[in-house]
Structure 1
Amino acid sequence: MTATPASQSNKNTCAKPSPIKAGTTENQAVAAHPAASRGQHTRTYLVHVPAQYSAKTAVPMVIIFHGHGGTAQEAEQDTGFSQLADKEQFIAVYPQGLPDDGQMPMWASIGPLDYNIDETVFMNDMLDKLTKDFCVDTQRIYATGFSNGGGMSGFVACQLSTRIAAVAPISGNYYPLQAGCHPQRAVPMLEIHGSADPIVPYNGISAKVNPQWPLPAVQDWLGEWAKRNGCTKGPEQFFQDKNATGFRWTDCHQNATIMHYRMEGEGHTVPAKIGNLPTEQVIWNFFKLHTLAGPK
Structure 2
Amino acid sequence: MMTVVRYLPLIAAFTVLQAGAATIVAETMQRPEGPRTYLLAQPASPAAGKLPLVILLHGHMGSANLTLGKGRIDDPAAAWLDVADREGLLVIAPDGARGSDNQRGWNDCRADAPSNPKTDDVGFIAALIDQAVAQHNADPSRVYLSGMSNGGGMVYRAATELGPRLAAVAVSNMLMPVKNLCAAPKRALPMLVAHGTEDKIVPYAGGEVGHSLLTGRGSNISAEESVKYWRDLAQLPPAPAVTQVPHRDAGDKTSLVRYVWGDDPKGVQVEFLKMEHAGHVQPSAAHRLPPLMLSILGKQNGDLEYADETWTFFKDKRVAP
TM bin, normalised by shorter chain, reads 0.7 to 0.9
Equivalent position of 1:49 in the other structure: 42
Partner of 1:288: 315
- 1:72 is matched with 64
Preserved CA contact (<8 Å) 2:106 2:117: no
Asked if 1:157 is matched to 2:184, the reply is no
Q: What residue is the counterpart of 1:148 in the other structure? A: 150
1:247 counterpart = 2:247: no
Unaligned stretches of 5+ in structure 1?
1-19, 35-40
Q: Percent identity?
A: 27
Name the residue aligned to 2:183: 180
* Partners of 2:216 and 2:240 in 1: CA distance: 29
5 Å-filtered alignment, 1:206-285, equals 213-239=218-244, 243-250=255-262, 255-273=267-285, 277-285=304-312
Aligned partners of 2:84 and 2:317: how far apart in 1?
17
- Which secondary structure state, in structure 1, belongs to the residue aligned with residue 68 of structure 2? helix
Partner amino acid, structure 2, of 1:255: G
Question: Aligned-pair distance for 1:53?
Answer: 2.5
Alignment map for 1:95-174 (pairs within 5 Å):
95-110=94-109, 114-174=116-176
Structure 2 equivalent of residue 29 of structure 1: 28
The one-letter amino acid of 1:178's match is L
Q: CA deviation at 1:247?
A: 1.5
d(CA) in 2 for partners of 1:123 and 1:241?
A: 36
Gapped runs of 5+ residues in structure 2? 1-15, 70-74, 210-214, 248-254, 286-300
RMSD: 2.9
d(CA) in 2 for partners of 1:212 and 1:129? 32
**How many pairs align?**
265
1:180 CA displacement: 2.1
Q: Partners in 2 of 1:275 and 1:71 — Cα distance?
A: 23
TM-score, length basis structure 1: 0.81
Superposed CA offset, 1:227-278 (max 9, x none) = 11121233453335561122222269x8311011111101111111578542
Structure-1 residue corresponding to 2:72: none
Cα gap change, 1:139/1:177 in structure 2, threshold over 3 Å: closer, same or farther? farther
Deviating above 6 A after TM superposition, structure 1's stretches of 4 or more consecutive aligned residues are none
8 Å Cα contact 2:260/2:270 also seen in 1? yes
Alpha-carbon distance in 1 for matches of 2:205, 2:242:
18
Q: How far, CA to CA, are the matches of 2:216 and 2:262 in structure 1?
A: 33
**Superposed CA offset, 1:43-66 (max 9, x none):** 111000111136x62010111111
Distance 1:267-1:42 versus aligned 2 partners, 3 A rule? same
